[in-house]
Amino acid sequence: MLHTVNKSPFEHSALETCLRYARQGAAVLLIEDGVYAAARDTAVSKQVEEALKKVSIYALEADLAARGMRNRVIDGVRLVDYEGFVDLVVEHNAVQSWL
Amino acid sequence: MDEATEGGAVKRFLYVNRKAPYGTIYALESLEVVLIGAAFDQDVSLAFVGDGVYQLTKGQDTKALEVKNFSPTFRALDDYDINKIYVDADALRARGLTEADLVIPVEVVSTERMAQIMEGQDVILSF
Amino acid sequence: MKLGILVNEGPYTHQASDTAYQFAKAALAKGHEIYRVFFYHDGVNNGTRLTVPPQDDRNIVKRWSELAAEHKLDLVLCIAAAQRRGLMDKNEAKRHGKDTDNLAAGFRISGLGQLIETGIQSDRLVVFGD
């Protein structure tokens, strides 16, 4: 299963809820304001690092770059472009958007 | 995979409701999709997570808002053969609610069980 | 692979339509088929031909129309959501006695059943919204 999260983790519980339901081996793609969760040394980065033990976490590079976060990404969070987003959708049996 | 999916004709549709009613239109328009979708004879489940559980609470009175109270419509779901309705136990508990506060009978499930239910779907419509 | 897309937000206020567009473009570039793009909730506002964004900004509506023309995309606005929000094709405008229609090129208006059908016919359905 591919989960997408498009909300800042500082304002919204979408990421937290997503990680609660994401099962071992699932993939989580951070897009739009969701990419702020990919930044290191934040109030939620420990939670993200912990989640990396259970799920793969990706962040959309275009959204990181737009927000000036491109060089602050937590080790282990993988960057994808839109084609990479498409690949993730194709590789997983279903997509759940945590809007 | 269950038999229905192997046949290719029926897909498992899950509607994930995470938003409270009235503050935004998502809950109402989501229910409209569920009702239209019922005619397609798919394998339908509804999940209520987070603030989505507020859609199901008893005692909604919207007269002063001049909008339709759509909570009674959930009672019609059974007539459409939609009876797999799952509510997250933690979401209820966090909001001081129990199953007795809801307008329809539901299956209250743990986060782990809900995660399993989500994993087994073909199409997930989240509103 | 056959992909379905659901867009639940209008243009400009929220990024959802932009992301959906970039996703669709990338999917087509990779040789996938887009079965349909369905617009629901405020997403129907992506289908008005009357938007006039500043010249230095992207034209979201036109961009969808052009992608549709180039790849024969099926762009569908939900009729119930469109009526609530004042989106009309010629027939609808006539039926409701309105003085104009405002549907952009490449879009059509149809029922919610088309969303369910998108879920059934597509290998994957991806939802973009708020």
What's the pLDDT tens digit per position in B12-52? Answer: 999 999 999 999 999 999 999 999 999 999 999 999 999 99
Q: How far apart are CA C68 and CA C73, in angstroms?
A: 4
- In the CATH hierarchy, which top-level class contains the domain B12-126? alpha beta
Q: How far apart are CA B74 and CA B102, in angstroms?
A: 10
State the chains in contact with C (3 or more Cβ–Cβ pairs under 8 Å). Answer: A, B
B93, B96, B99, B103 alpha-carbon torsion, rounded to 10°: -130
- Taking an 8 Å cut-off on Cβ atoms, the answer to whether A99 and C23 are in contact is no
Task: Quickly state the pLDDT bin for B127 (edges 50, 70, 90).
Answer: confident
Domain architecture of chain A: domains with CATH: 2-98 (3.40.1260.10)
* Tokens 């997403």 belong to residue: C43
Task: Quickly state the pLDDT bin for B9 (edges 50, 70, 90).
Answer: confident
Question: Sheet of A56-60: strands edge to edge?
Answer: A78-80, A56-60, A27-30, A2-5, A95-98
**Chain C nearest C-alpha distance from A78 (Å):** 18
Can you give the pLDDT of all 99 residues of chain A as single tens digits?
999 999 999 999 999 999 999 999 999 999 999 999 999 999 999 999 999 999 999 999 999 999 999 999 999 999 999 999 999 999 999 999 999
Q: In sequence order, which ranges of chain A are alpha helices (DSSP H)?
A: 14-21, 45-51, 61-66, 82-91
Task: Quickly state the pLDDT bin for B8 (edges 50, 70, 90).
Answer: low
Query: What is the reported pLDDT for B5?
Result: 44
Using the predicted structure, report yes or no on whether residue B7 has a pLDDT greater than 50.
no
Q: Are the CB atoms for B78 and B34 separated by under 8 Å?
A: no
Tell me which residue in C116, C120, C127 faces B36 most closely, judged by beta carbons.
C116
- Taking an 8 Å cut-off on Cβ atoms, the answer to whether B33 and C116 are in contact is yes
Q: Are the CB atoms for C9 and C130 separated by under 8 Å?
A: yes
Tell me which residue in B25, B26, B40 faces C116 most closely, judged by beta carbons.
B40
Q: Choose the catalytic residue: C78, C82, C104, C109.
A: C78
List chain B residues with CB under 8 Å of C115: 33, 36-37, 125
Please report, as a single letter, which amino acid is at residue C102.
N
What total of structural domains would you count in chain C? 1
Task: Quickly state the pLDDT bin for B59 (edges 50, 70, 90).
Answer: very high
- Which strand (E) or helix (H) includes residue B124? strand B123-126
Convert the pLDDT of each residue in B75-105 to its tens digit: 999 999 999 999 999 999 999 999 999 999 9
Query: What is the reported pLDDT for A79?
Result: 98
Q: Note down the domain range covering C72.
A: 2-128
- Taking an 8 Å cut-off on Cβ atoms, the answer to whether C112 and B33 are in contact is yes
SS3 state of residue B36: helix
Question: Sheet of B107-109: strands edge to edge?
Answer: B107-109, B85-88, B43-48, B12-17, B123-126
Instruction: Spell out where chain C has E strands.
Output: 2-7, 33-39, 75-78, 107-110, 124-128
Please report, as a single letter, which amino acid is at residue C38.
F
Q: Are the CB atoms for C9 and C128 separated by under 8 Å?
A: yes
Compute how many other C-beta atoms are within 10 angstroms of the C-beta atom of residue C114: 18
CATH code of residue C87 = 3.40.1260.10
**Chain B nearest C-alpha distance from C51 (Å):** 23
List chain A residues with CB under 8 Å of C129: 97, 99
Question: Which positions in chain C have a beta carbon within 8 angstroms of at least one beta carbon in chain B?
Answer: 6, 8, 40-41, 80-81, 111-113, 115-117, 119-120, 125, 127, 129
The segments of chain C whose pLDDT lies below 50 read: none
Q: What angle do CA B24, B30, B32 make, to 5 degrees?
A: 115
Q: How far apart are CA B13 and CA B75, in angstroms?
A: 20
Compute how many other C-beta atoms are within 10 angstroms of the C-beta atom of residue B118: 23
List chain C residues with CB under 8 Å of A94: 124
Q: Are the CB atoms for A64 and A79 separated by under 8 Å?
A: yes
DSSP secondary structure of B74-88 = GGGGGGGT---EEEE
Using the predicted structure, report yes or no on whether residue B68 has a pLDDT greater than 60.
yes
**Chain C nearest C-alpha distance from A91 (Å):** 10
The yes/no answer to whether this complex scores an ipTM above 0.90 is: yes
**Chain A nearest C-alpha distance from B118 (Å):** 8
Q: Are the CB atoms for B35 and B43 separated by under 8 Å?
A: no
Active site residue C44: no
Q: CA of C88: how far to CAs of B43, C72, C82, C85, C115, in Å?
A: 33, 21, 7, 9, 19
- Taking an 8 Å cut-off on Cβ atoms, the answer to whether B36 and C6 are in contact is no
Convert the pLDDT of each residue in A62-84 to its tens digit: 999 999 999 999 999 999 999 99
